[in-house]
Structure 1
Amino acid sequence: MKTILRKISACVFFAAVICFTFVNSYAAEYQDTLRVGIYYGSDTQSSLTLESIKGFDIGFSSDRSFYPLETVGTTSVKALKSYAGTYHLLHSSHSTREELEDSLAELRGAGVNVFPAYYNSSYCAFSGVFTNQNDAQWQADNGGAYAIPVALSANALCLTDNETGNIILVVDHSTAGLAVFSADRQNSDSFLTISGSSKGTYRGGFECKALGSEALTVVNIVPVEDYLYSVVCREMSPSWHVEALKTQAVCARNFALGRINYHNKYGFDVCKTVCCQAYSSTADQSKNVHTAVDETRGELLFYENQLVQAVYSSSMGSSTENVKNVWGSNFPYLVSVDNSYEDTENVYNGKWEKKLTTARATELMKSYGIGTVTDISAIEYSDAGRVVKLRVTGTEGEKIFEREKCRTVFSEATYSQKYTITKGGIITHPSVFLSSYNSSKEKTLDSVSVLSGNNKTETISGKYVATNGKTTKSYSSTVTGGDPDTYTFSGEGWGHGVGMSQYGAKGMAEAGFDYEEILTHYYTGTHLEKAY
């Protein structure tokens, strides 16, 4: 293993157990912290209440840096959106934090109840809160200390002491966010707790922004290695062999550092769901996981000079898949390899059989305009045994799906691309003799058309009664071996099947392989380097 200090040439990718999309690469300096989306999009919060027994460092964040303005001893604070048009009194404005500290001390010494603010890109001393300019102006004229009223913009946020309700910080800036860390943030055991219904304890700090709405987008700013403590124990069982956990730590580290600024729309790198990597509070972290992360600290997997896109999924059956057959990409280290150490028969969703009715398949195909589904067929397989072309035929046309779509189009019935399809039931149609004036022919009922009572020609199906004018006889089709309107998907593996099998890594670790041997087996031609 080499020790290096370099730029990491990383490819941004959409990697997780669920879904991946490869896009263009970019070069990114190694970041020692990650920005993890906790509440965003449709899951924003009206406020955020944080607790810390050590007090808080409060300030603002900008360009991935935290700028503390003050340390407060209160143990509970609440961040929330300020109302546009709210007024405060501005007592002083400065270009540096040090100047602000001096001003706050002087004003407080004079009996003015001031608090820090980051306003119009300046370090400011504010006091009071007013709903209109007249009240603010009256206080400015009669308060005894120099002050002018200022109105907040739609971007403004405030932080209050949750015990007294008093404002202790205002941040009003188009791009900077309100940021809060524990006062002992330099301590490796520093935590912040989100209180309320979403209670959880997190490492690092939090940034809040309004992003044009009345609710808060909340980002956890956390050191990379601390982030891994949470991710590894959610992506892999903490009870597994430590060498398997080490492989997960390296893969998760590779993933995270290849994801910097990926969710830039919301101002963070990775989200907390399996869309990126599963991440939450510190509650379930274990000693095993800490050992795995600590003993691989700073280690990354490279292919030549490229940071490896270390994708993984739960189980893969007897072999992994070439990336070109899943996402259409070409990566020389993401090819099909043996996966015989995976105990597929005995892992969750390792072997599976799922059924899909014609009615449900038709519903899922509605947007493709092919009518009622009449057949579902795997028409091409990869060398590793995965479906790479799936044809769905309907009464009004057909649709052919390729690569990963062969798994996701009927995802409720297909846990991987490695499956076969059988259609339930054998339909037997009885035969009848049809006579004309000069001949007689035997035909099955499904090939006979009749003239109905409303003068329409219809194909016979189901149960019919025939008569020659003297006698009558009932005819009906019979079904054996199951429901002819049901497709059975029988397969193995759970997930996309590219890169490392997590259960395969478990099996290899239990067989005596170390994490470097496991990683270089699943990612062909790669090597580990200590990047920091």
Structure 2
Amino acid sequence: MKNFKLILSVLIVFVLMTVSANAQNLDIKIGKSYSNGESIELKSKSNFNIVIDNTVSIKTNTKNLKINFDGKDIKVLNNNKVLVDSFQTNGVMLISSDQPISVNGMRYRGSISFRINNSKLDVINNVEMEDYLKGVVPKELSASYPLEALKAQAIVSRSFAMANINKYKKLGYNLNDTTSSQVYRGLDAEEKRSNEAVDSTKGLMVYYEDEIANTIFGASSGGIVADASEVWGGKSIPYLTSFMDNYSTYSWNLSLKNSELQKIFGKYIYSLDIFEKDSSGRVSKVLLNGTDELKTSSFRSKIGNAKFKSTLFDIEKTSDGFKFTGRGYGHGVGFSQYGAVEMAKQGFKTEDILKYYFKGTDIR
């Protein structure tokens, strides 16, 4: 055991200054952030290895590891024996296995490392792009949908990942596993048909001129795609502008009582009006009680984005509150998943679908 620790310590000295990024791999933050005193169980059907700088691999002769975090240092243990007493958190060191690794019961391809951010421990899955996509596509679009739509989603997700690869660079990883990046659930999420969609489109991405396009996507445009610059501000992006969408016509309605709104906003709402719309007809501001302007994005998030499905809506006053009748699901920018499914059902091919939603782009 002492020799193992000595070898590990010596090797770390030589590799700390030579960290290099692997363009084919992504560092994905998975699961929650762990507090001081919490532990993580790692399991595999094959023995674990400690990998240093992707070049040196040291066998541990165990299929079970426990990760302890004391708020400062990360210890790797097996049967209460310390294997690594200060696991490096800069991506130099990885825990790998020849078989998938279970992290507190959820299985992942690739290897595992750690970062410390805001005094909490983040678990990082270092995974090849194509394996990452196999854990993304079926969570973003049901594997029961037409293959051409799944292939489109695979290309969109691959392009999105590459275009946003530095999103969390300051925190030491590329993307997380939530909707703020893309939903990713590792090996346990994989389905045969969605894996086929990933494999059959391997390496393909959406390009605008010579750059990988930032392929923003959402559930449904509600019949008209939104302009990214109007939704989030900034410069207009040629392939993320507004246009009529003939294939995504999702509709919804929601009734809220005055008492519910009062609980949400902390005051009685006796009037609620549309104050401002953007070029796609989406409501950008609402007016509460005739005087209080509120951005609709804030209004929607306070009620709940899954409940108040879009900003493309009308308001009707009722006897005890308000009724909202809307179209679309999500921000409405870029690729519409429901639209892609409908296009695939009508016989459109993957490239047709992608070029419909990202005008002026190429797939290569």
Question: For the Cα contact (< 8 Å) 1:250–1:296, is it kept in 2?
Answer: yes
Cα shift at 1:39: 4.0
Letter in 2 for 1:160: L
The equivalences for 1:305-320 within 5 A come to: 305-320=210-225
Question: For the Cα contact (< 8 Å) 1:155–1:212, is it kept in 2?
Answer: no
Cα shift at 1:178: 4.7
- Please point out which of 44, 55, 60 is paired with 1:52: 44
Cα shift at 1:320: 1.5
**1:120-151: CA deviations, max 9, x gaps?**
xxxxxxxxxxxxxxxxxxxxxxxxxxxxxxxx
**Counterpart secondary structure, 2:295:** strand
**Counterpart secondary structure, 1:250:** helix
Letter in 2 for 1:340: N
Letter in 2 for 1:416: S
Task: Provide closer, same or farther for how the CA distance between residues 411 and 155 of structure 1 changes in structure 2, counting only shifts above 3 A.
Answer: closer
- Please point out which of 71, 85, 91 is paired with 2:59: 71
Find the aligned partners of 2:329 and 2:37 in 1 and give their Cα distance: 34
User: In structure 1, what is the equivalent of residue 177 of structure 2?
Assistant: 272
**Counterpart secondary structure, 2:363:** strand
Find the aligned partners of 2:160 and 2:360 in 1 and give their Cα distance: 18
Cα shift at 1:75: 1.7
Task: Provide closer, same or farther for how the CA distance between residues 53 and 30 of structure 1 changes in structure 2, counting only shifts above 3 A.
Answer: closer
Task: Provide closer, same or farther for how the CA distance between residues 398 and 257 of structure 1 changes in structure 2, counting only shifts above 3 A.
Answer: same
- Please point out which of 254, 259, 263 is paired with 1:354: 254
User: In structure 2, what is the equivalent of residue 416 of structure 1?
Assistant: 310
Question: For the Cα contact (< 8 Å) 2:224–2:280, is it kept in 1?
Answer: yes
The equivalences for 1:46-195 within 5 A come to: 46-60=38-52, 65-81=53-69, 155-162=72-79, 165-171=80-86, 175=90, 178-182=93-97, 184=98, 190-194=99-103
Task: Provide closer, same or farther for how the CA distance between residues 217 and 411 of structure 1 changes in structure 2, counting only shifts above 3 A.
Answer: closer
Task: Provide closer, same or farther for how the CA distance between residues 167 and 513 of structure 1 changes in structure 2, counting only shifts above 3 A.
Answer: same
The equivalences for 1:348-497 within 5 A come to: 350-366=250-266, 372-393=268-289, 397-401=291-295, 404-405=297-298, 407-408=300-301, 410-411=303-304, 414-424=308-318, 483=319, 485-497=320-332
Contiguous gaps of at least 5 residues in structure 2: 1-20
Q: How big is the alpha-carbon RMSD for the aligned residues of Structure 1 and Structure 2?
A: 2.6
Cα shift at 1:208: 2.6
Letter in 1 for 2:173: F
Higher radius of gyration, 1 or 2? 1
Q: Which has the higher helix share?
A: 2
**1:392-450: CA deviations, max 9, x gaps?**
225xx422436x446445446631111110101xxxxxxxxxxxxxxxxxxxxxxxxxx
Runs of 4+, deviation exceeding 6 Å: none
The equivalences for 1:509-520 within 5 A come to: 509-520=344-355
Find the aligned partners of 1:49 and 1:417 in 2 and give their Cα distance: 42
Contiguous gaps of at least 5 residues in structure 1: 1-28, 84-153, 185-189, 345-349, 425-482
Task: Provide closer, same or farther for how the CA distance between residues 320 and 406 of structure 1 changes in structure 2, counting only shifts above 3 A.
Answer: farther
Find the aligned partners of 1:210 and 1:309 in 2 and give their Cα distance: 28
* Percent of aligned pairs with the same amino acid: 29
Cα shift at 1:166: 2.8
**Counterpart secondary structure, 1:340:** coil
Find the aligned partners of 1:304 and 1:44 in 2 and give their Cα distance: 48
Q: Which has the higher strand share?
A: 1
- Please point out which of 22, 25, 46 is paired with 1:33: 25
User: In structure 1, what is the equivalent of residue 108 of structure 2?
Assistant: 202
Find the aligned partners of 1:271 and 1:168 in 2 and give their Cα distance: 28
User: In structure 1, what is the equivalent of residue 357 of structure 2?
Assistant: 522
Question: For the Cα contact (< 8 Å) 1:155–1:174, is it kept in 2?
Answer: no
Find the aligned partners of 1:72 and 1:507 in 2 and give their Cα distance: 51
**1:305-363: CA deviations, max 9, x gaps?**
23211111112222212223322231111122332223x4xxxxx32211123333344
Letter in 1 for 2:317: K
**Counterpart secondary structure, 1:299:** coil
**1:23-72: CA deviations, max 9, x gaps?**
xxxxxx98211111124546787222222222122144xxxx43534123
Question: For the Cα contact (< 8 Å) 1:38–1:220, is it kept in 2?
Answer: yes
Find the aligned partners of 1:31 and 1:204 in 2 and give their Cα distance: 15
Question: For the Cα contact (< 8 Å) 1:45–1:216, is it kept in 2?
Answer: no
